[in-house]
């Protein structure tokens, strides 16, 4: 449907200036997000040495995960292409050609399966989501593939996405038989192996590393977006120096993660998920319980070396400032370093984790010999714990240790901070839905106390936080009945297609109602997915006579149309929308670079403007609770402080352009994909607040996002979209969140899903993408008094305010 601004797409297929600019940024971000995990003198490679390039992702490099987080960009650069263009001789062309055939066949078999399965489900998306494509095995590597090669680069790739968690099987969390056999073969041949991990999360490497000696280097490239191949070549060849750090702990064994066997589908119970590990998520667990990970949180190597010196600490009213000096002490490479500040809290009133991340900063590019002084602030709330008993955030009286370094395990005790009186920073609402959950780890936890070292000791006096007053009512002059359509998305004539219900801009996820346009002149807002860029349909056709867009259905909108044979309509006009596939959320986070995150946000906003998108359905900042979560790639980290601060930076970037807003998601505890719409998360209030909400809180308070997307799952018995605790008490009353809260897509569709009218009652303003039953449920509730006029005006008022800001 044409709008006042004409079509969002362009009939000109040539590369736009924006695409060209964003290619450069996507490459820069990928380079900064690739983590060097091991390097025994083999990297960087010289362009002059021939290499054997092997493994599923060598030529089929995975740019990102699947589902709504996918981006339908123009072109992906494979590692093969990146290396070839850099002038590297590849000795394994025959292996790669053979792989191409296997890949094509596997894709076709997979496509047939999806099309067949789709016939038997209500929503074809479910057939797709439950069958993520598994990259086929290559042929066994042979001596001829590595003849004359100086090193072998072996790429392990994995695909995952929404709707399904990763499997604890060979070929997914573990190496496939072929991958293991190939790596043993290469090991025997004594060729140095560089392992590239091209997956949305960890792959267990302990066995292969313990049983080989020639895996000389490991790079976690994760899923680095459309410029993957160039970025990998930049790093492998030393044109750029790695500077990324892990944002998630890589366990030696899956079983080392707390309550690993109970996660998602593994214990056979998909109805309830008990967060028994409490606050001991990721490094908080490994560090507190003295467990050694394979690769720790915050860890990443460089081609150069840095000296990191603590220079002092100061206090001001509500924060500490830690001064650090970083010097590049190498003599060859310029590089960047990430300085991390952790704090150990007093263990007196209640026990706490041993240490937590409370501050970080990345240096500029430092030339050999060059130094930079960083001033890193630590806000007082990073030193607080949540008291369930008192309903308060408290900075407890006692001794705090300040640790500094460049990973969660290489830390020096730098300073002692003394707090002389316990201070309650803020009172919180009393929640309606809580759970009695036994957090068993507390029983065996022997907390290590911080021994004060008086060489750098300061006194800090925390101050209660001022509360931001949230405006609960916005003036709405319209008849209450007329406002109802605002509370659910535009009801499409066709069945709503998950992730592609938008009409005005093809391939967008949805829109707010158009129902108030004629009478009140109120336009709708257009929403498009992320987080790795803007998700639109790359190509669409328009019937010239009626100026309507030809629909392509749910399957047509996936994988750039691979699943559906393109049907050319005679005489139709062809339109194109090329967006940039930036690296996935985890790669972006691995940069630990807030400035880069903000620039990324600005770039996203430019594409939003170009395609008339008002709300971006990103960033995603759910916590990496377990390595098997199918959507971890979209999210930042296992640490809430890191996640929240990075999300705030992206938010500022996007929202610095008028008319562009973000939607931080999925609020809250969407930490598994199997039965994501029905799982009831049982969690203590302290864990909920300290781990799973804290990132959202930081993002809301610092970034002021336009919108929040509630999650599908239940939290302590109530669907997030129906939870007054989450939407109204916490987000609005406590945090002062002033924007719109929308549901995740089709949350009201399952029989035991969210109840439509209860969304509005809870303060979840819009149900997306909206359907006739939602409309009916809301209308009925209004008529019978379940939903008050005030509740309707509150939700509608917030939506109208957002429309006036963005449309």
On whether the CB atoms of residues 191 and 147 are closer than 8 A, the answer is no
Q: Which one of 164, 665, 729, 798 is in contact with ligand BGC (CB under 6 A)?
A: 665
Q: Which of residues 87-106 bind ligand BGC (CB under 6 A)?
A: none
- Total binding residues toward ligand BGC, as defined by CB under 6 A: 10
Residue position matching structure tokens 């292969």? 208
Residue 430 phi, psi (nearest 5): -85, 125
Closest approach of ligand BGC to the CB of residue 50, in Å: 44
Which CB atom, from 386 or from 745, has the smaller least distance to ligand BGC? 745
Please tell me the number of Cα atoms within 13 Å of 325 on its side-chain side: 9
**CB-nearer residue toward ligand BGC: 205 or 536:** 536
Q: Which is nearer to ligand BGC, 489 or 640 (CB)?
A: 489
Comparing C-alpha atoms, which of 224, 149, 227 is closest to residue 194? Answer: 149
Among residues 634 and 734, whose Cβ is nearest to ligand BGC? 634
CB of 652 to ligand BGC, least distance (A): 21
Contact 791, 497 (CB under 8 A): no
- The pattern of x and - marking residues 156 through 195 that bind ligand BGC according to CB under 6 A reads ------x---------------------------------
Structure-block tokens of residue 131: 């069958």
Task: Provide the minimum distance between the beta carbon of 537 and ligand BGC in the complex, in angstroms, as a whole number.
Answer: 13
Burial (0-12, 13-18, 19+ Cβ within 10 Å), 417: buried
Where does residue 255 rank: exposed (0-12), middle (13-18), buried (19+ CB within 10 A)? exposed
Residues 54, 189: Cα–Cα separation, whole Å: 15
Minimum CB separation of residue 414 from ligand BGC in Å reads 40
Neighbouring residues of 362: CB distance < 8 A, sequence distance ≥ 6: 243, 336, 337, 338, 339, 591, 592, 593, 594, 595
Please identify, using beta-carbon distances, which residue of 44 and 65 lies nearer to ligand BGC: 65
| Residue 361 phi, psi (nearest 5) | -160, 150
Residue with smaller CB distance to ligand BGC, 676 or 724: 676
Report how far residue 45's alpha carbon sits from residue 734's, in angstroms, rounded to the nearest whole number.
53
Nearest approach in angstroms of CB 617 to ligand BGC is 4
61 versus 622: smaller Cβ distance to ligand BGC: 622
**Contact between 499 and ligand BGC per CB under 6 A:** yes
Write down the least CB distance from residue 436 to ligand BGC, Å.
Answer: 29
C-beta nearest to ligand BGC: residue: 499
Q: Least distance (Å) from ligand BGC to the CB of residue 125?
A: 8
The helix/strand/coil state of 641 is helix
Q: Is 509 in the site for ligand BGC (CB under 6 A)?
A: yes
Minimum gap (Å) between residue 279 Cβ and ligand BGC = 26
Task: Find the shortest distance in angstroms from Cβ 658 to ligand BGC.
Answer: 23
Please identify, using beta-carbon distances, which residue of 649 and 663 lies nearer to ligand BGC.
Answer: 663
Please tell me whether residue 685 binds ligand BGC under the rule CB under 6 A.
Answer: no
CB of 633 to ligand BGC, least distance (A): 12
Residue closer to ligand BGC, measured from CB, 251 or 509: 509
Nearer to ligand BGC by Cβ, of 90 and 679: the residue is 679
Q: Does 68 bind ligand BGC (CB under 6 A)?
A: yes
Q: How far is the CB of 747 from ligand BGC (least distance, A)?
A: 9
Closer of 225 and 499 to ligand BGC (Cβ): 499
Considering only 182, 234, 725, 744, the residue that binds ligand BGC (CB under 6 A) is: 744
Q: Determine the Cα–Cα distance for residues 56 and 76; give it in Å rounded to an integer.
A: 15
**Is 774 near ligand BGC (CB under 6 A)?**
no
Out of 617, 629, 731, 741, the residue judged to bind ligand BGC by CB under 6 A: 617
CA–CA distances in Å: residue 362 to residues 296, 332, 532:
18, 20, 22
Q: Looking only at residues 134 through 163 of this chain, which bind ligand BGC when binding is defined by CB under 6 A?
A: 162
Rounded to whole angstroms, the Cα distance separating 27 from 772 reads 44
Judged by phi (left if over 0) then psi (alpha if -120 to 50, else beta), residue 264 lies in left
Which tokens sit at 140? 């066994």
Q: Is 124 an interacting residue with respect to ligand BGC (CB under 6 A)?
A: no
- Cα–Cα dist 751/611, whole Å: 36
Binding mask 516-535 for ligand BGC (x = CB under 6 A): -------------x------
* Binder of ligand BGC out of 333, 403, 696, 745 (CB under 6 A): 745
C-beta of 505: minimal distance to ligand BGC in Å? 13
Find the largest Cα–Cα distance for the chain: 81
Identify the residue among 31, 183, 233, 498 touching ligand BGC (CB under 6 A). Answer: 498
Contacts of 288 (CB under 8 A, 6+ apart): 280, 353, 354, 355, 445, 447, 448
Compute the least distance from the CB of residue 767 to ligand BGC, in Å: 12
Residue 671 C-beta: closest distance to ligand BGC, Å: 13
Number of Cβ within a 10 Å radius of residue 772? 9
Task: Please spell the DSSP secondary structure of 345-398, one letter per residue.
Answer: ---SSS---S-EEEEEEE--PBPTT-EEEEEEEEEGGGG-EEETTTTEEEE-SE
Q: Which of 378/498 has CB closer to ligand BGC?
A: 498
Q: What is the 3-state secondary structure (H, E, C) of 141-185?
A: CCHHHHCCCCEEEEEEECCCECCECCCCCECCCECCHHHHHHHHH
- Name 403's Cβ contacts closer than 8 Å, sequence gap at least 6: 341, 342, 343, 344, 355, 411, 412, 413, 414
Asked if residues 692 and 667 have their Cβ atoms less than 8 Å apart, the reply is: no
Please, which residue, 342 or 745, has the CB nearer to ligand BGC? 745
Query: Which residue lies nearer to ligand BGC by CB, 110 or 667?
Result: 667
Enumerate binding residues for ligand BGC (CB under 6 A).
68, 162, 498-499, 509, 529, 617, 665, 744-745
């Amino acid at each position: 449907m044409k709008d006042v601004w004409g079509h969002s797409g362009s009939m000109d297929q040539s590369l736009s200036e924006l695409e060209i600019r964003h290619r450069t940024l996507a490459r820069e971000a990928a380079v900064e997000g690739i983590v060097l995990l091991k390097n025994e003198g083999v990297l960087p490679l010289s362009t002059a040495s021939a290499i054997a390039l092997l493994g599923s992702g060598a030529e089929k490099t995975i740019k990102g995960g699947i589902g709504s987080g996918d981006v339908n960009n123009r072109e992906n650069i494979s590692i093969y292409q990146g290396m070839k263009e850099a002038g590297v001789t590849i000795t394994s062309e025959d292996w790669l050609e053979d792989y191409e055939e296997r890949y094509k066949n596997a894709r076709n078999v997979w496509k047939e399966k999806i099309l067949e399965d789709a016939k038997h489900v209500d929503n074809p998306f479910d057939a797709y989501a439950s069958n993520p494509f598994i990259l086929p095995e290559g042929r066994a590597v042979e001596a001829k593939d590595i003849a004359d090669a100086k090193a072998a680069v072996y790429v392990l790739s994995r695909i995952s996405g929404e709707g399904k968690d990763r499997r604890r099987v060979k070929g997914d969390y573990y190496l496939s038989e072929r991958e293991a056999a190939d790596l043993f073969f290469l090991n025997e041949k004594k060729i140095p192996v560089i392992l590239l991990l091209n997956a949305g999360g960890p792959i267990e490497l302990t066995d292969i590393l313990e049983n080989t000696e020639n895996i000389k280097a490991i790079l976690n490239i994760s899923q680095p977006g459309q410029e993957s191949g160039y970025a990998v070549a930049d790093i492998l060849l030393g044109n750029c120096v790695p500077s990324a750090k892990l944002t998630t702990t890589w366990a030696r064994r899956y079983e080392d993660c707390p309550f690993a066997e109970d996660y998602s589908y593994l214990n056979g119970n998909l109805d309830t998920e008990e967060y028994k590990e409490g606050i001991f998520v990721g490094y908080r667990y490994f560090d507190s319980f003295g467990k050694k990970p394979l690769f720790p949180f915050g860890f990443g190597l460089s081609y150069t070396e840095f000296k990191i010196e603590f220079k002092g600490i100061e206090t001001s009213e509500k924060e500490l400032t830690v001064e650090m000096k970083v010097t590049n002490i190498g003599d060859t490479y310029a590089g960047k370093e990430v300085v991390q500040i952790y704090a150990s809290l007093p263990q007196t009133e209640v026990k706490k984790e041993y240490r937590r991340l409370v501050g970080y900063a990345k240096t500029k590019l430092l030339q050999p010999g060059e130094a930079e002084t960083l001033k890193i602030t630590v806000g007082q709330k990073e030193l607080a714990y949540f008291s369930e008993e008192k309903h308060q955030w408290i900075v407890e009286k006692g001794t705090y240790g300040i640790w500094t370094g460049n990973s969660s395990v290489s830390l020096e005790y730098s300073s002692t901070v003394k707090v002389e009186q316990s201070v309650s920073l803020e009172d919180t609402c009393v929640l309606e839905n809580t759970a009695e959950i036994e957090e068993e780890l507390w029983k065996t936890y022997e907390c290590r106390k911080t021994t004060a070292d008086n060489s750098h000791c300061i006194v800090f006096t925390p101050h209660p936080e001022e509360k931001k007053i949230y405006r609960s009512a916005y003036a709405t002059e319209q008849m209450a009945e007329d406002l109802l359509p605002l509370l659910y998305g535009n009801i499409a004539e066709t069945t709503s297609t998950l992730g592609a219900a938008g009409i005005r801009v093809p391939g967008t996820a949805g829109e707010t109602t158009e129902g108030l346009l004629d009478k009140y002149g109120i336009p709708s807002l257009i929403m498009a997915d992320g987080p790795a860029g803007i998700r639109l349909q790359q190509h669409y056709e328009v019937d010239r006579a009626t100026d309507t867009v030809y629909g392509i259905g749910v399957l047509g909108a996936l994988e750039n149309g691979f699943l559906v044979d393109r049907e050319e309509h005679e005489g139709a006009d062809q339109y194109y929308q090329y967006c940039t596939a930036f690296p996935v959320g985890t790669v972006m986070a691995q940069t630990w670079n807030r400035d880069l995150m903000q620039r990324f946000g600005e770039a996203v906003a430019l594409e939003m403007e170009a395609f008339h998108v008002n709300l971006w359905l990103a960033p995603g900042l759910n916590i990496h609770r377990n390595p098997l979560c199918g959507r971890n790639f979209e999210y930042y980290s296992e640490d809430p402080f890191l996640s929240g601060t990075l999300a705030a930076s992206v938010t500022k970037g996007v929202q610095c352009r008028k008319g562009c807003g973000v939607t931080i998601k999925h609020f809250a505890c969407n930490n598994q994909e199997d039965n994501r719409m029905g799982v009831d998360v049982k969690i203590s209030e302290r864990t909920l607040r300290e781990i799973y909400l804290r990132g959202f809180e930081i993002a809301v308070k610092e970034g002021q996002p336009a919108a929040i997307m509630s999650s599908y799952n239940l939290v302590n018995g109530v669907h997030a979209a129906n939870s007054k605790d989450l939407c109204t008490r916490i987000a609005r009353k406590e945090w002062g969140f002033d924007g719109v809260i929308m549901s995740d897509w089709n949350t009201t569709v399952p029989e035991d899903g969210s109840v439509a009218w209860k969304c509005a009652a809870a303060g979840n303003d819009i149900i997306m993408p909206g359907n006739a039953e939602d409309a009916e449920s809301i209308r009925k509730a209004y008529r019978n008094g379940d939903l008050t006029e005030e509740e309707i005006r509150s939700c509608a008022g917030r939506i109208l305010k957002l429309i006036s800001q963005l449309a």
